[in-house]
Copies of this chain bind each other. A is one copy, B any other.
Amino acid sequence: MAPDKRVTIRDVALAAGVSPGTVSRAMNDSSLVNEDTHRRIMRVVEELDYTPNVVARRLSLGKTLAVGVIVPFFTRPSVSERLNGVVSLLATSQYDLVIHNIEAPEQRVTCLTEIPFNEQADGILSISLTPTDAEAERLAQAGLPVVLIDGDHRALKGVHHQVTVDDVAGGEATTRYLIELGHTKIGFVGDYHDNPFNFTSSRDRYVGYQRALWEADIPVRAEYLEENQHGRRPARESARNLLALTDRPTAIFAASDTQAVGVLEAAREAGLTVPDDLSVVGYDDVEIADILGLTTRRQLLFESGRRGVELLLQTLENPGTERVFDTLPTELIVRETTAPPQG
């Protein structure tokens, strides 16, 4: 009850009749200490219910034993799944995870520029964020390992590793699938390609979309591109515009599953049957895709998080490691929202 004075390493040392240094050794590299002493110390540790003060360890070691993860909108299913991968692996390590959510562009710069300098972390994990050159510069100054999960491909100075997906290729392959089905009038519903968070995935997927069209000698029509805020509702609006076109698309490629849901809703509103009147394909393969039977391109969200942590921990152990730029595969999951165009 009485929040008894915490038991420190000195208390243990006293009770075990040894010095604090020995207790410390016993708790860490037990090899260097006599078997008996070790056992005795451990018994006292048990009895006193001693647990080392992490903050003191941190100061002494010059390490924070924490990694910072910077993540925008972690409630988005795809992001939360990546985060889940991060957490799952990090939990098995000695590192704490301190999380920084970003919901506004200002927070973005704060996180990217301050956190690395506050010694709040030994390493940084950045999810779905592409640092600007200036930010990368600053990151480099901080001198701590940074790994980008779902970040940009460019070789940034401050970045140690990257785990990413080739969104251009993914967008291209997905579009090609629609083309192979026979579609030539393919709309694209995505984020604003120029946005204050510097999200790049939608833009990259659109680049892939263009490539597929070029390769197939299908003209890229400006009116078939709808940029908007991210989210289901904005995507619904965008899709409405597309469907109101006199020469409306027979298929719509949404930059994410969330956006595909909005497209599906717009189709229903417009009285169109999916996939007969309109094919819809999403991206990510989060749970809603399975629920709705949405054809989509699956990416390994959970694994991207895990892999990112793996690389970070590796670098933390052994700072000299080579930079690695991993690219995770994607896979088309065909469900019930795609079919050849009618007629």
Contacts and interface: CB of A to CB of B under 8 A. Distances in A.
Contacts of A287: 232
A51 B101 contact: no
B66 A75 contact: no
Contacts of A64: 54-55
A218 interface: no
B53 A55 contact: no
Interface in A123-137: none
Interface stretch (A113-121, A201-209, A277-285): A113-121
A234 to B, nearest CB: 14
Interface in A45-84: 49, 51-56, 58-59, 64, 66, 74-75, 77, 80-81, 83-84
A140 B1 contact: yes
Given A99-B99, A117-B51, A119-B55, A74 B84 contact: yes
A91 B99 CA distance: 10
A33 interface: no
Contacts of A59: 53, 55-56, 58-59
A99 B83 CA distance: 11
Contact of A91 (B83, B107, B114): B107
A74 B80 contact: yes
Interface size class of A (residues with CB under 8 A): 35 or more
Interface string A161-184: 000000000000000000000000
A119 B74 contact: no
Contacts of A80: 74-75, 80
A64 B232 CA distance: 40
A88 interface: yes
A141 B117 CA distance: 35
Contact of A88 (B101, B119, B265): B101
14 contacts: A51-B118, A53-B118, A54-B118, A54-B119, A55-B58, A66-B98, A74-B83, A74-B84, A74-B87, A75-B83, A75-B84, A87-B99, A96-B120, A97-B98
